[in-house]
């Protein structure tokens, strides 16, 4: 969006490219896959030994319409691991991951929490893929048709996805003769929003939800559109004032350089950008912005490889590069190059950076449609304290992009109509229970998260040093104490839901 930013949740910011330099967006930017390293792309194409079996379920295309056409079905993929399951006879629990906007296999790699805790809970593990992503493509699995236009994409929505999950879980339990096994749902990011909403809407299907970094309040009239960028800015500023200043000043520096004779060539050379016909200040800025956003989201305390391989505490490392403490760099462009290289070239394998690459290794592209229909999440505004140029987020810009691109008009208030959001404290207190909302305050998405305890059973776990769904990641020996403590607390709470459920089951029989 040229002007507009669409953020995919996990990935939330995928559509950052060229955000603020053009007055009007010709089309919505595509997933800037230059954000994803070559190794990662390869990895997602190879099929290593995966810790689950893959299954397909014949799913109803339209759960909310009985006209004969709506009976169309599609094959929905789910992954299952029964190695640790205590079985139907024992009413052993079922842990379900409510898939988000991407290939479900990728989410399993980032949800070690479920694998690591399945043995002690004797839990069955199930990961369900979101419709229109990965291999769960309606219209006979024909991606071209499914993504053709608003007529076919119309079936891509969160309410349909939740209904898919309920339908599949109920059918699976029937097949396993495990009707009485309690289901706990898990999710991170958009998947976390789905997990929380699933518990609210389908309390008879899931006894509780762990919603990690789930910005269910990041909607119109609920939070400031500036909050996302404010958190990123604060992340860098808390490392050093100078780091903040260099980033803040970089946009002007780039514009000024670009306007000089041979300036574009200099920029291209300074940042080791591959040959490109479209190279300009705008594409460079979008590329830098993407790196700052994703690094803030994944500012984990241990080395990680979620979007790209990164060291522990990457923001700190970037600021060190900017400070010039590394390799004695002095030139401002060189410093920025060193900082951005941390995100795009940590493994040191990039020969040059390809800003034109628009491949989408995790299959996140469908988010663009969601961001044009119901997921109107105001993100991307910048106030004068931001490291990004000042920018006022506007719903009208989103609307015109979406009309142009899909010929669709968003329904900006549908999500709060369907799931609530206003006065969430009082509403959830009386209408829901058994939800854990985890948020790490380094994560820009925490601005739209539930950060206060709502009731005895709707608990907000908030960590100052945490980033995007860090709690769900595989544990490591280097994990800091606060992270171990969060996980312990989550396990304890989930165990209490299950034990309460078993008690109630016995006393009712």
Q: Which residues bind ligand NAG (CB under 6 A)?
A: 51-53, 55, 57-58, 81, 83, 115, 145, 148-149, 151-152, 168, 171-172, 175, 272, 341, 345, 348, 350-353, 452-453, 459-460, 462
348 burial via Cβ count (<10 Å: 0-12, 13-18, 19+): exposed
For residue 155, count CB atoms less than 10 angstroms from its CB and return exposed for 0-12, middle for 13-18, buried for 19 or more.
buried
Residue closer to ligand NAG (CB basis): 168 or 371: 168
Nearer to ligand NAG, 46 or 151 (CB): 151
Render the burial of 174-185: b for 16+ CB within 10 Å, e for the rest. Answer: eebebeebbbbb
Nearer to ligand NAG, 26 or 154 (CB): 154
Q: Residue 110 CB: number of other CB atoms within 10 A?
A: 19
Could you give the CA distance from residue 303 to residue 479 in angstroms, rounded to a whole number?
A: 10
Contacts of 227 (CB under 8 A, 6+ apart): 444, 447, 448
Beta-carbon-side half-sphere exposure of residue 262 (alpha carbons within 13 Å): 3
Distances, alpha carbon 242 to alpha carbons 36, 86, 126, 246, 248, in Å: 28, 55, 47, 6, 10
**Catalytic-residue membership of 189:** yes
Looking at the Cβ atoms of 149 and 259, the one nearer to ligand NAG is: 149
User: Considering 468, 469, 471, 479, which one is annotated as catalytic?
Assistant: 468
Q: For the CB of residue 171, give the shortest distance to ligand NAG in the complex, in Å.
A: 4
- Both tokens assigned to 9: 């949740």
From the candidates 235, 354, 357, 443, give the one annotated as an active-site residue: 443
- Token pair 């976390």 in the structure block, residue: 192
Separation of alpha carbons 482 and 464, rounded Å: 9
Residue 326 three-state SS: coil
Measured at the CA of 144, the angle between CA 138 and CA 148, to 5 degrees, comes to: 90
Put residue 283 in one of left, alpha, beta given phi > 0 → left and psi -120 to 50 → alpha: alpha
The angle at the Cα of 300, spanning 492 to 249, to the nearest 5 degrees, equals 140
Angle made by CA atoms 137, 187, 474, in degrees to the nearest 5: 110
Q: In what order do the strands lie in the sheet with 94-98?
A: 53-60, 73-81, 124-128, 94-98, 183-188, 208-212, 435-440, 458-463
Q: What is the DSSP code string of 268-320?
A: HHHTTBPP-SS--HHHHHHHHHHHHHHHHHT--SS-EESSSEE-SSHHHHHHH
As given in the structure block, the two tokens for residue 142 are: 């024909």
Indicate which residue of 189, 212, 233, 433 is catalytic: 189
- Contact between 101 and 130 (Cβ < 8 Å): yes
| Nearer CB in complex with ligand NAG: 20/52 | 52
Instruction: Give the closest residue to 273 by CA, choosing from 319, 318, 232, 333.
Output: 333
Q: What angle do CA 294, 104, 7 make, to 5 degrees?
A: 30
Token duo for residue 292: 């700052």
Residue (of 493, 422, 496, 469) closest to 211 by Cα position: 469
For the bound state, the minimum distance from the C-beta of residue 136 to ligand NAG, rounded and expressed in Å, comes to 13
Active site residues: 189, 443, 468
């Amino acid at each position: 969006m040229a002007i507009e930013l669409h953020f995919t949740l996990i990935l939330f910011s995928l559509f950052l490219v060229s955000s603020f330099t053009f007055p009007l967006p010709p089309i919505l930017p595509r997933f800037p896959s230059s954000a994803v390293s070559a190794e990662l792309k390869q990895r997602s194409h190879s099929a290593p030994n995966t810790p689950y079996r893959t299954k397909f379920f014949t799913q109803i295309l339209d759960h909310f319409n009985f006209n004969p056409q709506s009976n169309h079905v599609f094959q929905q993929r789910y992954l299952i691991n029964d190695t640790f399951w205590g079985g139907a006879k024992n009413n052993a629990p079922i842990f379900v991951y409510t898939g988000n906007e991407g290939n479900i296999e990728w989410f399993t790699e980032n949800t070690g929490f479920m694998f690591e805790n399945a043995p002690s809970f004797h839990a069955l593990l199930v990961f369900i893929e979101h419709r229109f992503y990965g291999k769960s493509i309606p219209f006979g699995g024909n991606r071209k048709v499914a993504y053709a236009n608003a007529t076919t994409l119309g079936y891509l929505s969160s309410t349909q996805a939740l209904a898919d999950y309920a339908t599949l879980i109920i059918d699976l339990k029937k097949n396993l003769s495990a009707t009485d096994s309690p289901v706990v749902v898990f999710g991170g990011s958009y998947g976390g929003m789905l997990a929380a909403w699933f518990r609210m809407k389908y309390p008879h299907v899931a006894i509780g939800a762990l919603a990690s970094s789930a910005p269910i309040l990041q909607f119109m009239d609920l939070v400031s559109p500036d909050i996302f960028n404010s958190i990123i800015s604060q992340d860098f500023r808390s490392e050093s004032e100078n780091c903040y200043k260099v980033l803040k000043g970089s946009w002007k520096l780039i514009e000024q350089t670009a306007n000089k004779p041979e300036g574009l060539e200099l920029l291209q050379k300074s940042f080791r950008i591959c040959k490109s016909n479209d190279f300009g200040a705008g594409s460079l800025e979008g590329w830098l912005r993407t790196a700052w956003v994703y690094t803030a989201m994944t500012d984990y305390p241990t080395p990680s490889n979620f979007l790209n391989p990164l060291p522990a505490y990457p923001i700190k490392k970037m600021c060190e590069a900017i400070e010039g403490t590394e390799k004695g760099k002095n030139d401002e462009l060189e410093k920025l190059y060193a900082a951005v290289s941390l995100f795009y070239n940590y493994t040191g394998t990039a020969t040059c950076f390809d800003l034109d690459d628009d491949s989408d290794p995790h299959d996140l592209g469908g988010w663009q449609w969601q961001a044009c229909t119901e997921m109107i999440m105001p993100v991307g505004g910048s106030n004068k304290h931001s490291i990004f140029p000042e920018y006022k987020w506007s719903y009208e810009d989103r609307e015109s992009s979406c009309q142009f691109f899909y010929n669709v008009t968003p329904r900006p208030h549908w999500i709060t109509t369907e799931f609530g959001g206003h006065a969430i404290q009082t509403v959830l207190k009386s209408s829901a229970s058994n939800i854990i909302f985890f948020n790490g305050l380094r994560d820009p998405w925490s601005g739209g998260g539930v950060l206060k305890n709502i009731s005895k059973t709707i608990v907000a776990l908030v960590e100052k040093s945490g980033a995007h769904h860090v709690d769900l990641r595989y544990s490591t020996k280097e994990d800091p104490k606060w992270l171990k403590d969060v996980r312990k607390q989550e396990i304890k709470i989930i165990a209490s839901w299950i034990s309460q459920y078993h008690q109630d089951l016995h006393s009712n029989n």
